[in-house]
Amino acid sequence: MQHLGVLKESERRRLVALAPAGVKRLSAQLRVSVQRGAGRAAGYSDEAYAQAGATLVEHRDEILRGCDLVLGHDSHYRGEDVGGPKTFIGFLNVLNDRDVVDHYRRPGITLHSLDLIPRTTLAQAMDVLSSVASISGYQAVLLAAERSLATVPMITSAGGTLRPARFLIMGAGVAGLQAIATARRLGAIVRAYDVRSASRTEVESLGATFIEVEGAVEDRKAGGYAVEQTPEHLERIRQVIHAEASQADVIITTAKIPGRKAPLLITEDMVRGMKPGAVVVDLAAATGGNCALTEPDSTVMYDEVTILGPTAIECGCAHSTSFLLSNNYTTFIEHLLKNAENPADEILKATRVVENGEVVNARYLGN
């Protein structure tokens, strides 16, 4: 029976890649070891892992050396000599953090990074990217509401009536749609924009207004993702958004292009025109930011406007995020065990970055 090891994430992350329920699900097919304390910050105790059938292991090195499959959401392996063959599974953001892959270029080492999961129906239950994005969109609204000087819903009270807040959401993919839904539930008036025309129906079905900017470039071959826009179109978006921004109490930006720098959508000039007390939450901070003033993981005050660029906002509700990740990773590992010998398997091919020390991934290599 193969041996799976679950590593403790960095303190900052607070997440765990496998919850006790995942241990239970996998233990018919695998021996599972979990690094002691791995789930503590996410609300999963060592006792719960032991009850689910895991062996608790004191040190990270024991997992790295002793297991055939090593699971850690973030990067944990730094190229140490750990023997082989060994398969690492995680979410390493390899298209944006390309150098991380170098650690895995060692004989016997294979790496699957789930940020490369294909956006297909079969792979949906393994889509870590969507889980992280959903939680990020939700958390961004709560963060903005907490930092805003105004309330979100309309409130009628003895002191008068407070009008509902106006939210502007840029990018209506997984994170943006969850942000729209959360802001609507809180009672905000929401307007949203995306370069993909298909997102209009989704935006409207959530009760938000879609902002029209004609002339976006779309490419069916991009697998449902946005493609880079021409400088002219980006300028057109900024012109339309300028007026929208001045009305907004909160702007949440989520616009990304896989493997590219995030598009600049909110300029300094736009922020200057925003209301005092308004908040910008930039979820693209890790890839350059959608707002010109964003500084990753810092609070920037520009006059009376607050600009936040959290790069790991999904860690804020670590228990829930870990629950979703655990289901995604469990499904992926089950798929890996079942299809390991099939070289044509689309999901394994798409996520395999390194095989026996060689970089083999077409998207990573740019083929």
Q: Alpha-carbon distance 289 to 92, whole Å?
A: 19
Per-residue binding string, ligand NAD, 143-182, x by CB under 6 A, is ---------------------------xxxxxxx------
Nearer residue to ligand NAD within complex by CB, 54 or 170: 170
- CA terminus-to-terminus distance, the chain: 36
- The gap from C-alpha 344 to its chain's centroid, in whole angstroms, comes to 27
- Active-site annotation holds for 44: no
Q: How far apart are CA 67 and CA 88, in angstroms?
A: 10
CA distance 50 to 336: 24
Nearest to ligand NAD of 126, 315 (CB atom): 126
Query: Can 119 be counted among the known catalytic residues?
Result: yes
Nearer to ligand NAD, 14 or 256 (CB): 256
Query: Shortest distance, CB of residue 255 to ligand NAD, whole angstroms?
Result: 3
Residue 70: closest CA among 102, 44, 108, 37:
108
Establish whether 124 is a catalytic residue.
Answer: yes
Nearest to 335 by CA among 134, 132, 120: 120
**124 contributes a contact to ligand NAD by CB under 6 A:** yes
Q: Is 30 exposed, middle or buried (0-12, 13-18, 19+ CB in 10 A)?
A: buried
Query: Which of 38, 152, 169, 195 lies at the binding interface for ligand NAD (CB under 6 A)?
Result: 195
For ligand NAD, the binding residue among 207, 258, 273, 316 (CB under 6 A) is 258
Which CA distances in Å does 240 have to 9, 160, 167, 235?
42, 33, 15, 9
- Given the DSSP bridges, would you call strands 250-253 and 279-282 parallel, antiparallel or unpaired? parallel
Q: Does 32 bind ligand NAD (CB under 6 A)?
A: no
- 255 scored as a contact of ligand NAD (CB under 6 A): yes
Compute the distance between CA of residue 358 and CA of residue 99 in angstroms, rounded to an integer: 14
Dig out the tokens for 253 from the structure: 């930006």
Q: How far is the CB of 281 from ligand NAD (least distance, A)?
A: 14
- Between CA 222 and CA 122 the distance in angstroms is 18
287: contact with ligand NAD by CB under 6 A: no
| Interaction of residue 119 with ligand NAD, rule CB under 6 A | yes
**Nearest approach, Cβ of 55 to ligand NAD (angstroms)?**
34
Cα–Cα dist 197/174, whole Å: 15
Q: Is 201 a residue that touches ligand NAD (CB under 6 A)?
A: no
Q: Which of 3, 60, 105, 196 binds ligand NAD (CB under 6 A)?
A: 196
225 counts as catalytic: yes
- Using CB under 6 A, which of the segments 56-64, 221-229, 338-346, 354-362 binds ligand NAD? 221-229
Strand partners, 5: 33, 70
| Out of 193, 323, 329, 364, the residue judged to bind ligand NAD by CB under 6 A | 193
Residues with a known catalytic role: 119, 124, 127, 130, 225
Binding residues (CB under 6 A) for ligand NAD: these are 119-120, 124, 127, 129-130, 133, 170-176, 193-196, 199, 224-226, 229, 237, 254-258, 263, 265
